Amino acid sequence: MSDFAGMEELLQDFLLESTELLSDVDNKLVELEKRPNDRALLNDIFRGFHTIKGGAGFLNVAPMVTICHRTENLFDKLRNSELGLSSELMDVILDATGAVRDMFTVLSQGLPPPNPDPAMLAALDAALAGNLAAVKAPTAAPAVPVVQAPPPAPAPAINSNEPNWEALHQAVTGSAQPAAASVPPAPAPVDMAAAATMVVESAPAELIPAAPVAVVPAAPKPQNKPAPSTGGPISGQENTIRIDTVRLDQVLNLSGEIGLTKNRLTTLRTEILQGNMETNTLRSLDEAISQLDLLVSDLQNAVMKTRMQPIGRLFQKYPRLARDLARQLGKEVELVITGEETELDKTMIEDLNDPLVHLVRNAVDHGVESADERIAMGKKPQSLIELTAEQVGDHIVIEITDDGKGMNPEVLRRKAIAKGLIDAETANSLDEKQCLQLIFLPGFSTKDQISSVSGRGVGMDVVRTNIQKLNGRIDINSIQGEGTRISISLPLTLAILPVLVVRACNQPFAVPLAMVREIIPIDTTAIQEVSGRPTIVVRDEILPLKTLSGLLNWQPTQKPNFGVLMQSAEKSFILAVDSFVGRDDVVIKPLQNIRPKGVAGATLSGDGSVVLVLDMEDLLAGQMDSSANGSIMLRNADNFSY
Amino acid sequence: MADKNLRFLVVDDFSTMRRIVRNLLKELGFTNVDEAEDGQVALHKLKTQHFDFIVSDWNMPNMTGIELLRAVRADAQLKHLPFLMITAEAKRENIIEAATAGASGYIVKPFTAATLEEKMNKIFQNLNK
């Protein structure tokens, strides 16, 4: 049971909005380090804390009010030039921001956040008093500063200032006010249960000043009325979305139009069923169906757009991340972001966070050198990391580029062998580009010194797995001494999958179009056996040939005529199929309860027949395990005169 | 008692806060509420639509609550409108500033529906004199 029962929705809104606001504040803080006297920045940051404080006050989150109130006052002094910004002060401010963020996390689990760290409050108070140095060391007796702290919430001022307002109002407006006792009686001491109930009844306010520290109950209170089940507990992924009303209206309009077209079709059906087969009727039918076709694809697009969110929501967290890490490592790093307005499916944005955090950390930790190393190499001391996003065709490409030392393929190769991740023979057959891919192997880590930041070798393989789950691709380019670029390519959405429909064994199958590089006719004379496996040379590239029937372990019914050049994570191969149906945009329906190997799901084709959508990675993985099934099958298919 | 059909304009840059104020007004029976995200938007709405009551935050980007208040009081069409200023601060100088600019009332965050009602009743009393 949450302590915010009855207020979940409001709390969620508050968290959603405040988290964005705080990220914005974070970035502005990073900016502020560069331009400490920028008044507009100081104003914005002031307003950020002020706004969060206001919301937190209504939600009765006293600890958050306490921190924001002090930080806000600090910025008030900064913007009025009563205080100067020092790096010590910056650390205090960043600590406070971090503490507020932690409270958001606690709140998102429906729990009341704990009281703020007294040492941090003491530092804030000292900073406010202008003698930060005095409290630099963690205070031994934190109780003292807390006691002498200014009132945490502004609320007590309501009472003390109330009569002033009335008097002033009379003085200014000249209205003779009856001398009403307008001061509400000071809140009587309330016990904890009452405080908790007040929260439930969404009547916060005047209880805060009464017991600023006691608002957080020691143990969750049992409550009489059950929390409305608004979609399970509030935690982890956001399950609400904010949509531009223009986009929502578009969906509404289109569904209306589809309704109209449906009516038209119904009328036409009646006519046709009654035997009216005139040319005009049939032409109208044709028109209505073409219109429906257009409308449905428009509707699909419009619905998809409601799920699209700017990737900036994600990106805005990273400058602070990079800054903190760089500071910790004693490096000078600037993170430059472009393309934050690029839009991506909401669920993908959420799933991208972990991989991107990892890549940013990697770039700061492993990618770029320390200032000294850089100077020695003739580079400028400050390193640059660029994070970009852009839409290329129907894909989103996210790139993270550093100007660091780059990767040495040889070192990677040796490392992989030393760690026993691959055998020497395989390793030596890898070209430079393939060597770079070795970092995606589970258990690979190039740093000899394991730092607290990264380098536990759990990262890159997880990053790749996560990207692949999103039907994306990840690619590395690196030039020694110049830097590394990691590119992630993602489909716009997961809801609709563009596929190539092929036929084998008299049945249609769909393969993801993202993996298809090209289609070639199979010339049997061009097939060569390399270590017992059939291959075809395409533009100097030796590619293994695998029949679809072989991969499926089915009896081939005819000789494959076409090859689909497929690109999976790091290997390419040719998938031999009987024939093609064409390309299509399909909606995958997952198969419930059964999960045949290599099948991602099923979809309906235009003629109403069921088409299996293949999961090529899965299909290939199975093939690896059972000692090259595909090629065995291919040799079994000798009757096709290979 | 005040007419429950009064049309309110709630001005705040923080949508959660607008929602909170809207909910509190609803608790008091006032359901005819529109919102604006800063002074500029508010002023535009005030000039193009009819409102009976303004509840505005002080600290907002583009145009602050106090600037909005001054603009409203300077406009012949709008100057009679009741204007309740919301703020997180209860500093003396703020109160004086709001009062001199012509605020009808002043309320400090956080507040309850009861506090809001009391403030509003006082404003209505003054209006009826």
pLDDT above 90 as % of chain A: 10
Specify the pLDDT at position A297.
84
CB contact under 8 A, A177 and B126: yes
Q: From CA A88, how far away is CA A254, in angstroms rounded?
A: 57
Beta pairing partners, A534: A529
State which residue of chain A sits closest to B22, comparing Cα positions.
Answer: A10
Tell me which residue in B15, B59, B112 faces A50 most closely, judged by beta carbons. B59
Q: Give the gap in angstroms from C-alpha A368 to the nearest C-alpha of chain B.
A: 39
Q: Give the gap in angstroms from C-alpha B50 to the nearest C-alpha of chain A.
A: 23
Q: From CA A16, how far away is CA A189, in angstroms rounded?
A: 33
**In A, which residues are within 8 Å of B13 by CB distance?**
47, 51
Amino acid symbol at A201: E
Specify the pLDDT at position A629.
38
Specify the pLDDT at position A123.
87
Give the ipTM of the model, two decimals please.
0.75
Give the single-character DSSP code of A307: T
Amino acid symbol at A197: T
Specify the pLDDT at position B33.
93
Specify the pLDDT at position A253.
93
Reported as a single tens digit per residue, the pLDDT across B61-93 is 889 999 999 999 999 999 899 999 998 777 788
Buried b (16+ CB within 10 A) or exposed e, A466-505: bbeebbbbbbbebeeeebbbbebbbbbbbebbbbbbbbbb
Q: Give the gap in angstroms from C-alpha B12 to the nearest C-alpha of chain A.
A: 10
CA distance to A129, A507, A522, A548, A612, per residue, from A556 (Å): 83, 11, 16, 9, 17
Tell me which residue in A50, A57, A158 faces B90 most closely, judged by beta carbons. A158
**In B, which residues are within 8 Å of A54 by CB distance?**
14, 17, 57, 88, 109-110
**B20 backbone dihedrals φ, ψ, rounded to 5°:** -60, -50
State which residue of chain B sits closest to A60, comparing Cα positions.
Answer: B110
Residue B50 has pLDDT above 70, yes or no: yes
Structure tokens at A453: 């930041």
Of B42, B106, B122, B124, the C-alpha closest to B78 is B42
CB contact under 8 A, B115 and A205: yes
Reported as a single tens digit per residue, the pLDDT across A525-550 is 888 888 778 888 888 888 889 889 88
| DSSP string computed for A486-512 | EEEEEES-SSSEEEEEEEETTEEEEEE
**Alpha carbons within 13 A on the beta-carbon side of A438:** 31
Edge-to-edge order in the sheet of strand A527-530: A516-521, A562-567, A572-577, A541-547, A533-538, A527-530
Per-residue H/E/C for A355-376: HHHHHHHHHHHHHCCCHHHHHH
Asked if residue A189 lies in contact with residue A164, where contact means CB atoms within 8 angstroms, the answer is no
Q: Give the gap in angstroms from C-alpha A161 to the nearest C-alpha of chain B.
A: 7
Asked if residue A193 lies in contact with residue A200, where contact means CB atoms within 8 angstroms, the answer is no
CB contact under 8 A, B20 and A182: no
Question: Coil, strand, or helix at residue A483?
Answer: strand
Question: Coil, strand, or helix at residue B58?
Answer: coil
CA distance to A58, A295, A482, per residue, from A377 (Å): 56, 59, 10
Mutate to test the interface with B, among A7, A59, A161, A244 (most CBs of B within 10 A): A161
Q: Give the gap in angstroms from C-alpha B95 to the nearest C-alpha of chain A.
A: 7
CB contact under 8 A, A51 and B13: yes
Place of tokens 């839409």: A391
Beta pairing partners, B10: B35, B55
Report yes or no: B61 at the A interface, CB cutoff 8 Å: yes
Mutate to test the interface with A, among B108, B111, B124 (most CBs of A within 10 A): B108
Specify the pLDDT at position A436.
86
What is the torsional sign of CA A411, A414, A420, A423?
positive
Mutate to test the interface with B, among A50, A52, A66, A183 (most CBs of B within 10 A): A50
Report yes or no: B88 at the A interface, CB cutoff 8 Å: yes
Q: From CA B24, how far away is CA B20, in angstroms rounded?
A: 6
The separation between CA A83 and the C-alpha centre of its own chain, rounded to angstroms, equals 38
CB contact under 8 A, A168 and B96: yes
Residue B44: pLDDT band (50, 70, 90) is: very high
Report yes or no: B105 at the A interface, CB cutoff 8 Å: yes
Buried b (16+ CB within 10 A) or exposed e, B70-79: bbbeeeeebe
Give the single-character DSSP code of A589: B
Q: Residues 6 or more apart from A248 whose CB is under 8 A from it?
A: A306
User: Contacts for A477-481 with beta carbons within 8 Å, 24 or more apart?
Assistant: A477/A436, A478/A406, A478/A407, A478/A436, A479/A406, A480/A405, A480/A406, A480/A407, A480/A408, A481/A377, A481/A405, A481/A406
CB contact under 8 A, B17 and A55: yes
Specify the pLDDT at position A538.
85
Domains of chain B with bracketed CATH = 8-128 (3.40.50.2300)
CB contact under 8 A, B19 and A10: yes
Asked if residue A1 lies in contact with residue A227, where contact means CB atoms within 8 angstroms, the answer is yes
Q: Give the gap in angstroms from C-alpha A234 to the nearest C-alpha of chain B.
A: 17
Of A380, A369, A377, the C-alpha closest to A330 is A369
Q: From CA A80, how far away is CA A101, in angstroms rounded?
A: 26
Asked if residue B110 lies in contact with residue A58, where contact means CB atoms within 8 angstroms, the answer is yes
Specify the pLDDT at position A91.
84
Specify the pLDDT at position A167.
55
Quote the pTM value: 0.54
Specify the pLDDT at position A170.
53
Report yes or no: B80 at the A interface, CB cutoff 8 Å: no
Specify the pLDDT at position A266.
93
Asked if residue A335 lies in contact with residue A323, where contact means CB atoms within 8 angstroms, the answer is yes
Asked if residue A534 lies in contact with residue A527, where contact means CB atoms within 8 angstroms, the answer is yes
CB contact under 8 A, B112 and A177: no
Q: From CA A3, how far away is CA A110, in angstroms rounded?
A: 6
Q: Give the gap in angstroms from C-alpha B119 to the nearest C-alpha of chain A.
A: 9
Q: From CA B111, how far away is CA B114, in angstroms rounded?
A: 8
CB contact under 8 A, B95 and A172: no
In what helix (H) or strand (E) does residue A71 lie, and over which residues does it extend?
Answer: helix A62-79
Burial class (CB in 10 A: 0-12, 13-18, 19+), A424: exposed
A vs B, Cβ pairs < 8 A, gives: 99
* Segments of chain A with pLDDT less than 50: 1-3, 134-163, 173-236, 448-457, 624-642
Question: Coil, strand, or helix at residue A415?
Answer: helix
The region that residue A486 occupies, defined by phi over 0 for left and psi between -120 and 50 for alpha, beta otherwise, is beta
Q: Give the gap in angstroms from C-alpha A263 to the nearest C-alpha of chain B.
A: 37
Edge-to-edge order in the sheet of strand B83-87: B33-36, B8-11, B53-57, B83-87, B105-108
Specify the pLDDT at position A132.
67
Report yes or no: B31 at the A interface, CB cutoff 8 Å: no
CA distance to A30, A87, A95, per residue, from A26 (Å): 6, 15, 11
